[in-house]
Structure 1
Amino acid sequence: MAVALAAMCAVVALAVLAHAAGPPAYAFAPDAKKVQGAERNAEASVLAAGAVYRSSIEAGEKLYYRVVLDSATDAYVSAVAVPKSEGSVAYGDGITVSIRDLNDSQCSSNRTTFGSGETPRPISAYAHRTVGRGASTTCQGAGKYDVLVERESKDTSSPEAWDLELRFEQEPGLKAGGPTETTAPKDWPSSTPAPPTAEPEKRTGGSSYYDATSLETGEWIDAIAPGQTRFYRVPVDWGQQIYASAVLSNTTGDTTEFIGNALTLSLDNPAQGHIADTSLSYSGKSASTALKPLPPVAYRNRYDYSSQVNTLRFAGWYYLSVTLSPKVAESYGKDPIVLSMSVQVKNKAGASPYEGDPGIFAVTDKDKELAESGDSAPKAAKSATMQVVAAGAFGAGAVLVLGLGAWTLLARRRAAAAGGPGQDHHQPPLGGPPQQGW
C-alpha cells in the first residue's frame, strides 16, 4: 500500500508540473509524409504500403487517396482524426473510412464517432480489402483502389480543420495449410477476471499511437488533466484475450457536480482499427469503467459481422487511449486527476499463421521486453541508437589507447638504441629533444 501511495504522489507531482504548459499536443510520427487529399478520385495521391502520412480534412469534406493492390494480399488503410483540443464536437461527429474499386464498389467501410461525451480527442477508423476465402466477390482483382475519408460535423461543432494521420498496411500471406475456417467463434470466456494482485506501478502514457507507453498485465498509475488523451499499447498474441479497465480517483474538494461521459477508455487494433470504447460519469468521487470482454485474437474473427469481433483478427500491439473531458475543469479545476489502469492479457500464445515476416502483426520477444520496461517505440529506438554510439565510442577509444601504447613503446626503444652502452638511459619527454639534467 505504501508503494502504491508513493507512486500516486509521484505521478501527481510530475503531472502538475507538466500540465503547467497545458496538455501535450498529439505526437505525429516524425517520418510522416505530407499528402493532400483530393475531392476528385482521379487526382488522388498514391499511398505506399508501410508508410505513414499526414493530411487534414475540413468540415463536411470527402477526400480521396489511392492505393495499388495485388490480387492476393489483405490491405488496411487507417485514418486518425485529430481535432483541436480547445474546439468542440457534437454527438454523431466523426470520420468514415472506406476502400472502393474504380467502379465505386465498396470493399469495406468503418465509421468512428466521438460518442455522446462530445469530447474532442483523437479517433481512428480503418477500412480493409480482404481476399480469398470468406471474402466478398468484389474488390478481388489487382489494380488501383480509392481510399475515401469522410468527415461529419454538425453546424454547432468547431469549423476548424482536423489533422489526419494515415497508415497503409498489408497483411502477410498464410502458410500452406493455414487457417481454413471461414466462420468466427461464437463462444469465448466472457467473465471478467479478478484484478491483478501486484502492487500498482507508475507508467506515464504517451500522446499518440507513435509514442504510446508499453504495458503488460498489471495495475498502472498515471494522472490525466482535463482535455488530455493518454496512449498506451499492450502486446496481444494469437489466442490471447485483453481485458482493460480504468478508475478515476476522487478529488479532495467539496464539489460534487455530476459530469456525464467524463472519461473515455478506447481500444484499437495493431492497424489502428477501432474495436470498442466505454466511458464513466464523474461527481468528484472515485469512478470506474471497463471494456466488455472481447474474444481471443484469431484469424477467423475477420469473418464475423460485428466490428468488436472482426477487428481482433491479428496479433501485435493493441492500443488503449484514455481521454478526460475538458468539462471536468469547469467544476474540478485544471489540475490532473490520478488515473488507475488495470490491464490483463490471458491465455497462452499460439503460433503465427503467416508465411515469412509478419511485420506489425506479431508479438516478438523484444515487444515483451518493452512491455515489461514500459518503453515506447521512440524511446526504445533512441536507447538502441545510444548503445550503438556507445559501443562505437568504446571501440574507437580502445583503438586509440592501444595505438598510443604502441607508439610510446616504440619511441622508448628507439631512444634506448640511440644512447648506446654505458650511456644514461633516462629518456627525455616524448616528442621533444633531450633536456639538461636528463
Structure 2
Amino acid sequence: MGGRHGTALRATARGRRGVAGRPVLAAALGLGTVLTALTALTAQPARAAGQDTTHDYAFAADARRIEGAGSTADAGRLEPGRTYRSTLPPDGKVYYRLDLDDTSTAYVSATAVPPTGSGVSVADGVKVTLEDSDGRSCDVDTAPFGAPASPHPVAAWAMREISPRRSLCAEAGTYYVTVERASPDARGASPDPWELEIGTVSEPGTTTPDGTAAPEAWDSATPAPVQGTAQRRAGGAGFAQAAPLGEGVWRDDIRPGQTLFYEVPVDWGRRLHVTAELGSSGTDATGYVASALTLDLYNPVRGLVEDLSVGYDGGQKSKALKPLPPVAYENRHASGQQVSAVRFAGSYYLVAHLSPEVAEDFGDGPVPLTLRVRLGGAAQDRPDYAGGTVPSDVFTVDGGPGGPATGGGGTAGDATLYRVLAAGGIGTGSALVVGLGVWTAVARRRGAALSE
C-alpha cells in the first residue's frame, strides 16, 4: 500500500436548537408535520460544540489536545479509538506514535482545517505517512484542496495492514505517524498554521484464514436516482456533527465557501449510490464556475472513497458518484482505491463544499442542494472477527451491543430519527406513535441540557 495517494488535484475547490413542545399539540399534528418537527429538533445548532470562531469546522467535543513533535523521539502516543486535536505548522512535519500488536490492522486519519478566510493553493493539502521504527513506509496518502483552491477541511488516511499479501510492517512494536502539508511552497499556499483532527481505529483479524482474492465482478451500472419529495435535513459542520441520512431525497442550502457534512449508515452487503444536485440560483445573474460544488465520500475511518465536482451557471445541475461495490471485507484486496476503501460497514460520510467563487457571479446567498441517496443490496453478516474493534461500534450501523451508532458526534435521538424516517413499511399510526415518543424524549433531553 506504500505510495497510495488520494485523487490527484481533485475538483474541490445551522440548524436550530430543539425546544420542548406540548404533547397535546403534537398529538393533533399529522405524520408529515411530526416528521418535519423531528427533523428540526435534531438539526445541528448554529454554533456546534467544538466549533470556534476562527474555524467553520466543528471539532469533536471529546477530542483530546496533543502536540505534534518535531522528532520521532518526542512523539506523543495516539490511543486506538480516540480522537485528538492538534496543530500543523506551515512548514515542517509533526510526529505521533502508535504502539501496535502483530494481529490488528490500524488506521489513522488526519483532517486538516485551514483558518477561515486563509488562502490555499490547488496543490497544497495534507499528507499522512505511517512508518515502522526503521523508517520504512507502511502507507502514505495525500489529500489536496484541488481546484478552485478554496480553503475547506480535507482528510487523508494511512494504515498498517495485517494481510497475507504483505510482510512489511507486520511486526508488533512502535510505529510513527507523520503529518505534513502536501505542498507548503506552492504558489498561493497559506502561511498560517492549520488545526488538525486526528482519529485512530483498530480492526482485529478474522478467525478463519484471510484469503487474498478480491471480490468477483459486481454490477457497475449506474442505478436511477431516487425519486420523491425532498425532506429537509441541515448538514453538520464537521465529521463529528455529520447529519444522518437514510435512503431518500434530502434537501439543504449551502452558501459559497461553506462545507457541510452528512453520514449514511451502510451495512455489510449494501451498496451506496448518491446523486448531488445544485438548484437554480433564482437570479438573472450570468457566469460559470467550473468546480462550484465538490462532494467527497469518505469511509468510516475517513478514507476517501470517491469524489465529484459540479460546474454551475446559475441553472440546475446534477452529477452522480461513480457506482460502488457492495460493502465487503474482501474489497480490501482489490487494486483500485474506489473498491478497496469500501472494506467495512459503518457511517460513510458525504462532505459537500461550495466554492466561494459562486458568490462572485451569483451573490453570497445560499444555493439549493439536493442529495439523492440510494441503498441497494441485502444486508449480510459481519466478518468473523477474532476480537473487538476499537472503538467497538465503528463498523456497525446499529452500534452493536453498545447501543445505536451515531457517527461519533450524533446523538442517540438522531440515530432513532434515522430509523423512523427510513421505516417506509410501518403504518401511519405506528409511525406517529413512535415519532411522538422520540420527539418527547429528544425535547426533554435537550430542554434539560438548556436549563443546566
TM-score (structure 2 length as normaliser): 0.76
Unaligned stretches of 5+ residues in structure 2: 1-31, 48-52, 406-414, 423-437
1:168 corresponds to: 200
1:24 Cα deviation (Å)? 7.7
Partner of 1:59: 90
Cα pair distance change 1:193/1:317, threshold 3 Å: same
1:130 paired with 2:164, answer: no
For residues 333 and 109 of structure 1, the distance between their equivalents in structure 2, rounded to whole angstroms, comes to 39
What does 1:27-42 align with in structure 2 at a 5 Å threshold? 27-42=58-73
Moved over 4 A (4+): 382-390
Structure 2: how far apart are the matches of 1:170 and 1:66?
14
State the alpha-carbon separation in 1 of the partners of residues 129 and 323 from structure 2: 27
Shift of the alpha carbon at 1:142? 0.8
One-letter identity of the residue aligned with 1:215: L
In the TM superposition, what are the counterparts of 1:246-325 in structure 2 within 5 Å? 246-325=276-355
Query: Equivalent pairs: percent with the same residue?
Result: 39
Does the 8 A contact of 1:245 with 1:291 survive in 2?
A: yes
| Corresponding residue number in structure 2 for 1:372 | 419
Normalization by structure 1: what TM-score?
0.78
8 A contact 2:95–2:177 mirrored in 1: yes
Are the structure 2 counterparts of residues 331 and 185 from structure 1 closer, same or farther at C-alpha, using a change threshold of 3 Å?
A: same
* Cα deviation, residue 277, structure 1: 1.0
Alpha-carbon offset, residue 228 of structure 1: 0.5
Summarize the Cα distance change of 1:60–1:303 in structure 2 as closer, same or farther, 3 Å threshold. farther
Q: Deviations for 1:257-304, whole angstroms, at most 9, x for unmatched residues? A: 111101100100101111111101111111112211112111111122
Cα offset, 1:387, TM superposition:
5.7
Mapped partners of 1:202, 1:65: distance in 2: 41
Q: Which residue of 2 aligns with 1:400?
A: none
Retained in 2: the 8 A contact 1:94–1:112? yes
Q: Letter of the aligned partner of 1:372 in structure 2?
A: R
- Asked whether 1:362 is paired with 2:410, we answer no
Question: What is the deviation of 1:45?
Answer: 0.6
Deviations along 1:357-412, whole A, 9 cap, x unmatched?
A: 4420112273464533579xxxx9x967956998xxxxxxxxxxxxxxxxxxxxxx
Give 1:332 shift.
Answer: 1.2
Cα separation, 2, equivalents of 1:352 and 1:141? 26
The CA RMSD over aligned residues, in Å, is 2.9
Map 1:48-197 to 2 at 5 A.
Answer: 48-134=79-165, 136-151=166-181, 152-153=183-184, 154-174=186-206, 176-177=207-208, 180-185=210-215, 187-197=217-227
Partners of 2:447 and 2:146 in 1: how far apart? 47
C-alpha displacement at 1:226, in angstroms? Answer: 0.6
- Residue by residue, what CA displacement relative to the aligned partner does 1:33-67 show, whole Å, maximum 9, x if unpaired? 11111121111111111111001112232111101
CA distance in 2, matches of 1:171, 1:204: 32
Aligned twin of 2:7: none
- Taking the TM superposition and a 5 Å limit, the aligned residue runs for 1:16-35 are 25-35=56-66
- The AA in structure 1 aligned to 2:315 is K
After superposition, the C-alpha distances for 1:58-100 in whole angstroms (9 at most, x for unaligned) are 2232111101000111000100011123122212111111110
How many residues are paired up? 370
Is the 1:72–1:132 contact (alpha carbons within 8 Å) kept by the matching residues of 2?
no
CA distance in 2, matches of 1:319, 1:114: 18
Counterpart secondary structure, 1:196: coil
5+ residue gaps, structure 1: 391-438
Instruction: Look up the equivalent residue of 1:182 and give its one-letter code.
Output: T
Q: Deviations over 1:312-368 (max 9, x none)?
A: 111100000100011111111111111111111110111111245442011227346
User: Aligned with 1:210: secondary structure?
Assistant: helix
* Contact persistence 1:109–1:126 (CA under 8 A): yes
Higher RCO structure (Cα 8 Å, ≥6 apart)? 2
User: Based on CA coordinates, which of the two structures has the bigger radius of gyration?
Assistant: 1
Distance in structure 1 (CA, Å) of the matches to 2:314 and 2:321: 22
3-state SS of paired residue (1:329)? helix
The secondary structure found in structure 1 opposite 2:239 is coil
Partner of 1:436: none
Pick closer, same or farther for the CA change 1:373–1:233 going to 2, 3 Å.
farther
Label 1:328 to 1:215 Cα distance change in 2 as closer, same or farther (>3 A). Answer: same
Shift in alpha-carbon separation, 1:198–1:285, aligned structure 2, 3 A: closer
Greater shift, 353-362 or 275-284, is seen at 353-362
